[in-house]
């Protein structure tokens, strides 16, 4: 089914050599590789085979799939999607019912050991009934599908880190893919949703090189998540100059000053928004005047208000301080009165030194 190489497929479609080079150029840029890598990419793609992809959707909102599938059509993302074999995506195939499930089983069998599994959404462990597909629990489906997978791509913060379903108090016992999968490579592509070009960039990397890209400590590809929003932000000079917007409509906001005080989580967030931007590179949250929410980081729903500066503690510290004052006063008073008592006792027991105490015949007294 997927025996044709990508190059042969493009040739069949009447794509010229220049067209192929153009495709490679776009792909190289998409993978955030230096332009000097274009010949390497071209060479690799000449013999690359279309990978089979099985897409599993668990506890999710379909926002991640929307991000990808609705990314203003046929851009490079579309091109990539033409060149993988998406064999199962139950949201898109819901109408196919049972046949879709057979397609998944067939894909596992045909491409055993070679196919990619894409997961969006977290997996509920509290009760499998919280999320099932075709009568199968998410956990069972994940385990069954993973048996012959080459690698798993956890698309979106829910599958990468638990995301919204896992937010306190986590009623469904939601967990991430990486907390369940220990024997296969897991690539986390977090974001709520992730940037579509990042999703396809990771797929493109696998398509081109047949390997997974270099990952950071949280399992994210370094090419896209290697730098923080803050480091790549065009408003960074204002942070350094100490110029900050203090409300969303003050003079600073209009002049495009730094949004740190309005709760921007850019300093702790690793993502490619500042470079790749959104909606065909039109803009990105900070450019449209709103701070970064930190959506590609673990626990971002539990990290306090989106509008609190990063340096502000987010526990109930007023209460803690209140209790502390009360405790302090009580203990302080207790210690104070004990000291007074010690002092009074000492004073009461005090006897004046008389000249007799120094007399030579003291011993005889």
Identify residues 169-228 at the interface with another protein (CB under 8 A). 216-218, 228
How far apart CA 64 and CA 75 sit, in angstroms, is 17
Among positions 19-48, residues that touch another protein (CB under 8 A) are 19, 21-23, 25-26, 28-29, 32, 34-36, 38
SS3 state of residue 173: coil
Residues 6+ apart with CB under 8 A from 66: 193
Residues 75-94 contacting another protein, CB under 8 A: 75-76, 78-79
**Which range binds another protein by CB under 8 A, 125-133, 135-143, 275-283, 351-359?**
275-283
Taking the complex as a whole, the smallest distance from the CB of residue 187 to another protein amounts, in Å, to 16
Measured from the CB atom, the residue of 58 and 244 that comes closer to another protein is 244
Rank residues 90 and 261 by Cβ distance to another protein and give the closer one: 261
Looking only at residues 304 through 343 of this chain, which bind another protein when binding is defined by CB under 8 A?
Answer: 304, 308-317, 320-321, 323-325, 327-329, 331-333, 335-337, 339-340, 343
Task: Please report whether residue 68 would count as binding another protein according to CB under 8 A.
Answer: no
Residues 6+ apart with CB under 8 A from 63: 156, 192, 193
By C-alpha distance, which of 52, 44, 35 is closest to 103? Answer: 52
**Site of tokens 């009165």:** 337
# residues near another protein by CB under 8 A = 90
Which residues within the stretch 93-152 sit at the binding site for another protein (CB under 8 A)?
none
Q: Which is nearer to another protein, 57 or 71 (CB)?
A: 71
* Phi, psi angles (nearest 5°) of residue 216: -90, -175
Q: In whole angstroms, give the CA distance from residue 185 to residue 316.
A: 39
Give every CB contact of residue 82 below 8 A, 6+ residues apart in sequence. Answer: none
Q: Which is nearer to another protein, 66 or 144 (CB)?
A: 66
């Amino acid at each position: 089914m997927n025996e044709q190489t990508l190059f042969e497929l493009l040739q069949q479609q009447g794509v010229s050599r220049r067209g192929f080079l153009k495709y490679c150029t776009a792909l190289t840029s998409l993978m955030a590789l230096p332009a000097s890598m274009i010949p390497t990419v071209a060479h690799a793609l000449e013999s690359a085979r279309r990978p089979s992809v099985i897409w599993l959707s668990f506890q999710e909102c379909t926002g991640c799939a929307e991000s990808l599938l609705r990314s203003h059509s046929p851009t490079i993302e579309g091109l990539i999607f033409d060149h993988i074999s998406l064999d199962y995506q139950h949201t898109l195939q819901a109408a196919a019912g049972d046949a879709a499930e057979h397609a998944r089983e067939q894909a596992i069998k045909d491409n055993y050991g070679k196919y990619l599994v894409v997961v969006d959404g977290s997996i509920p462990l509290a009760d499998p009934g919280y999320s099932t597909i075709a009568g199968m629990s998410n956990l069972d489906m994940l385990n069954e599908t993973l048996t012959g997978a080459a690698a798993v791509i956890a698309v979106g913060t829910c599958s990468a880190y638990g995301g919204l379903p896992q937010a306190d108090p986590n009623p469904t016992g939601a967990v991430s893919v990486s907390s369940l999968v220990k024997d296969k490579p897991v690539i986390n592509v977090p974001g709520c949703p992730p940037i579509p070009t990042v999703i396809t960039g990771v797929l493109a990397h696998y398509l081109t090189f047949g390997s997974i890209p270099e990952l950071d400590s949280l399992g994210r590809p370094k090419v896209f998540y290697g730098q923080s929003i803050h480091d790549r932000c065009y408003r960074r000079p204002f942070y350094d100059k100490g110029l900050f917007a203090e409300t969303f409509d003050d003079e600073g906001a209009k002049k495009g000053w730094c949004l740190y005080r309005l709760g921007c989580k850019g300093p702790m967030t690793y993502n490619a928004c500042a470079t790749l931007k959104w909606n065909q590179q039109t803009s990105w949250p900070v450019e449209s005047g709103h701070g970064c929410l930190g959506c590609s980081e673990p626990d971002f729903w539990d990290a306090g208000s989106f509008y609190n500066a990063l340096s502000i503690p987010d526990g109930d510290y007023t209460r803690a301080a209140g209790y502390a004052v009360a405790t302090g006063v009580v203990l302080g008073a207790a210690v104070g009165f004990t000291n007074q008592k010690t002092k009074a006792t000492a004073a009461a027991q005090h006897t004046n030194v008389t000249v007799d105490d120094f007399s030579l015949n003291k011993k005889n007294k």
